[in-house]
């Protein structure tokens, strides 16, 4: 082979332009604030969905078919842990998010959300159990989305603990039940706020209101699959899937209506119009939206020291778009977006988290899913 051909092939491999090439993950990737490197920490995960760092640096990772695994700091993937509830792993359902109790260091409690199989269909549920080296013990279901629906779509579901120790659970509108996202007598298309044992906080916005479920925090959501507390205010922020276009980033406040399906920036997949206007009185407009859709997933507000220029920025994973969006703010207003990793990661980005080392970790939602780490290119 001529030397020029060899050099050209090498250059294309490094640039990630040859089919299946992943060499650039160990190389330098330019961003607006310096170069970073994307490193594969672990692979061989089947449709990983959520992750939570343990105090010792290990990572709990959920796999959508119903497995919970421990991943070591060196990237060794452990065997499936026992005690995980049975899941309905059809369509978009399965084992979804995982979160540690705020007092995990003393009680070892772990929370998981999942699509729960039920008579007549399924629904998003949350269970908690005590973590041992072999699995979860004393598992209890603390929340069940009602009503049960026969559907394989739009389960949510992220778990976020607020500063006061209350648990936010994001829920989808199950696709077939979209109109009920506006009704307060169901959990369809809602964010709920519960105590760690599943009880209802007395200061929830609809407590005592006739015809309203007291767990509800906010309503009018389509399918919220990213959630995180704001690092300064502590407020809950979420991102959700629009239909065709209209993915949203929302400041998710108590008692507020976020519009679906009354208003949206998107349209039906057929192209048919859903709403005459993307805004309406009494409905919260998104802080930021995407047209066309990027298929939003995990949400992170970065607070670490390894990327000083990114401190306070939000990071939003993209499934269909296979990217990571970095958002800069002026107060609660997005003033700039940088698209990262498009054409580099080449997989659906399902979750994004900040590690205890101040680096950014991603999960890719693939049959051979990976745990990736973004670090400075030194």
Catalytic positions: 154
- C-alpha 300/C-alpha 351 separation (Å) is 9
Cβ atoms of 42 and 48 within 8 Å: the answer is: no
How many Cβ atoms sit within 10 Å of the Cβ of residue 28? Answer: 14
- C-alpha 120/C-alpha 116 separation (Å) is 11
First to last CA, the chain: 34
Q: How far is CA 106 from CA 51, 130, 172, 268, in A?
A: 20, 11, 33, 48
Q: How far is CA 257 from CA 113, 183, 317, in A?
A: 24, 10, 24
CA-based angle 186:278:150, to the nearest 5?
30
How are strands ordered across the β-sheet holding 59-63?
48-53, 59-63, 67-71
- C-alpha 37/C-alpha 26 separation (Å) is 6
Q: What are phi and psi of 7, to 5 degrees?
A: -65, -40
DSSP string across 62-117? EETTTEEEEE-TT-PBPPPPB-PPP---STT-SEEEEEE-TTHHHH-EEEEEEEEE
Q: Collapsing DSSP states into helix, strand and coil, what is residue 340?
A: strand
């Amino acid at each position: 082979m001529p030397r020029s051909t060899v050099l050209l092939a090498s250059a294309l491999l490094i640039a990630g332009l040859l089919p299946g090439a992943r060499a650039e993950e160990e190389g330098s990737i330019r961003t607006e604030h310096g170069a970073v490197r994307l490193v594969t920490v672990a692979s061989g995960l089947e449709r990983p969905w959520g992750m939570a760092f343990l105090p010792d640096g290990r990572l709990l990772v959920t796999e959508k078919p119903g497995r919970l695994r421990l991943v070591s700091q060196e990237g060794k993937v452990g065997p499936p842990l026992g005690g995980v509830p049975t899941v309905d792993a059809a369509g978009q359902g399965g084992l979804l998010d995982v979160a540690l109790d705020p007092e995990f260091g003393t009680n070892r409690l772990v929370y998981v959300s999942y699509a729960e199989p039920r008579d007549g269909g399924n629904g998003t549920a949350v269970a908690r159990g005590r973590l041992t080296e072999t699995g979860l013990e004393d598992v209890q279901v603390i929340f069940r989305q009602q009503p049960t629906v026969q559907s394989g779509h739009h389960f949510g579901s992220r778990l976020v603990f607020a500063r006061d120790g209350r648990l936010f659970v994001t829920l989808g509108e199950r696709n077939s039940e979209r109109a009920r996202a506006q009704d307060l007598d169901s959990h369809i298309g809602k964010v709920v706020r519960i105590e760690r044992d599943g009880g209802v906080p007395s200061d929830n916005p609809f407590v005592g209101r006739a015809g309203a479920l007291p767990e509800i925090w906010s309503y009018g959501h389509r399918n919220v699959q990213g959630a995180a507390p704001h690092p300064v205010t502590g407020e809950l922020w979420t991102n959700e899937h629009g239909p065709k276009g209209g993915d949203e980033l929302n400041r998710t406040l108590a008692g507020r209506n976020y519009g679906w399906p009354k208003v949206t920036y998107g349209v039906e997949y057929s192209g048919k119009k859903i709403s005459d206007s993307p805004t309406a009185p009494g409905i919260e407009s998104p802080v930021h939206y995407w047209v066309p859709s990027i298929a939003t997933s995990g949400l992170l507000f970065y607070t670490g020291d390894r990327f000083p220029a990114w401190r306070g920025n939000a990071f939003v994973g993209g499934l269909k778009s296979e990217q990571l969006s970095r958002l800069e703010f002026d107060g609660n207003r997005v003033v700039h977006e940088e698209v990262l990793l498009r054409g580099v990661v080449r997989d659906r980005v399902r979750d994004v988290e900040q590690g205890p080392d101040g680096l950014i970790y991603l999960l890719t939602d693939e049959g051979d899913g990976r745990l990736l780490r973004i670090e400075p290119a030194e």
